[in-house]
Amino acid sequence: MAKVSVLILAKNEEQFIAACIKSVLDFADEVVVIDDFSTDSTANIAKSLGARVIQRNLNGDWGAQQTFAIKQAKFDWIFFIDADERATPQLSAEIKKILAQDDKKIAWRTPRLSYFWGQPLKHGGWFPDYVTRLFPTAESYVSGFVHPQIHHKCPVEKDFPRNFYLIHYPYRDWNHYFNKLNLYTTLAAKKAHDQGKSAGILDMILHPMWASFRMYVLRGGFLDGKIGFVLAGFHFFYTMAKYVKLYYFGMENRHVTEENQRV
C-alpha cells in the first residue's frame, strides 16, 4: 500500500486539533502540522498524538503555507485536512482502498458536510462542497491566499461518493462567523480590484439580492430551517460588503472637518 502524509495548517487550535488528528490516524503514515506560532497548546497537543510539528509564519498567504507543507511530506501521497475538519470512518476506509491501488494519475476531491450550531447544512449550496484533498506529492503546489488552488500533475480528478465526506465545522460561534465575513470580503474586494474590476450602486443592490435568493430558494436553503434562513440573510450582507469594499477600495476616509486645523 502506498503511504500518505496528512498535512494540517493550524494556529491556536487547541480545542480542535486533537479530534482532527485522531480522525486520520487510521490511514495516515505521518501527520505533519504546520503551526503558525500558536500561543496556546496546539503544538504540544499535536506532538503528544505523534504529529511532527513545524513552525512557520503564515503571513496571510495560505497557498504558500500549503506549498511549504507539501515540501515537508515524506511520502508519495498528500492528504490535506483543516483543524476544523474530521475524516469519517467511511472516508478513511475509502482512502485506504485508493492508496492500495496507488494510481498516481488520479487526484481525489472530497465532499464536505458542514455543521453549525449542531445542525448539518445539507442545502443552500453547502453540500457536497467538493475540495481536492488527496493527490500525489511529486510536483504539486498550491497558489492563492484565502481560497487556494491546488496544482498537481494528475490528468484526472475524481470525486469521492457523497457518503464518503469530511465533517466540517466552519464557524465556532457568531463572532467567528462575522470575523471571517469581514476578512473574506476584504480579500475578495482586493482580488477584484487587482483584476481591474470596479463596483457601483447597482452592484451593491442586485448582486446581494441574487446571491441570497439563489442560496435560499434555488439551492434549497429553506430546507435547512431557521439556520438556512439566517445564513441566506447574512449571505446578502456578505455579498453587499464585498461590493461596498470594492467601491471604496483605495479611497481615504478623510476627516474633512479637521483639514483646516492641520498645521
261 has pLDDT over 70: no
Rounded to an integer, the average pLDDT of 221-230 is 96
> 161 burial class (0-12, 13-18, 19+ CB within 10 angstroms)?
exposed
Q: Domains, the chain, ranges and CATH? A: 4-168 (3.90.550.10), 174-247 (no CATH)
- pLDDT of 260: 62
| Residues 106 and 124: beta-carbon distance below 8 Å | no
Digit-coded pLDDT (tens) for 98-141: 999 999 999 999 999 999 999 999 999 999 999 999 999 999 99
Q: Chain-wide mean pLDDT for the chain?
A: 94
- pLDDT of 100: 97
227 has pLDDT over 80: yes
Handedness of CA 58, 60, 63, 64 (dihedral sign): negative
- pLDDT of 263: 53
Digit-coded pLDDT (tens) for 42-60: 999 999 999 999 999 998 8
Digit-coded pLDDT (tens) for 158-208: 999 999 999 999 999 999 999 999 999 998 999 899 999 999 999 999 999
For the question of whether the overall pTM of this predicted structure is more than 0.75, the answer is yes
Helix intervals (H) in the chain: 17-24, 42-48, 62-72, 89-101, 174-194, 201-213, 225-247
Do the bridges between strand 141-143 and strand 149-151 make them parallel or antiparallel, or are there none, so unpaired?
antiparallel
Share in percent of the chain as helix, strand, coil (round to 5) = 40, 20, 35
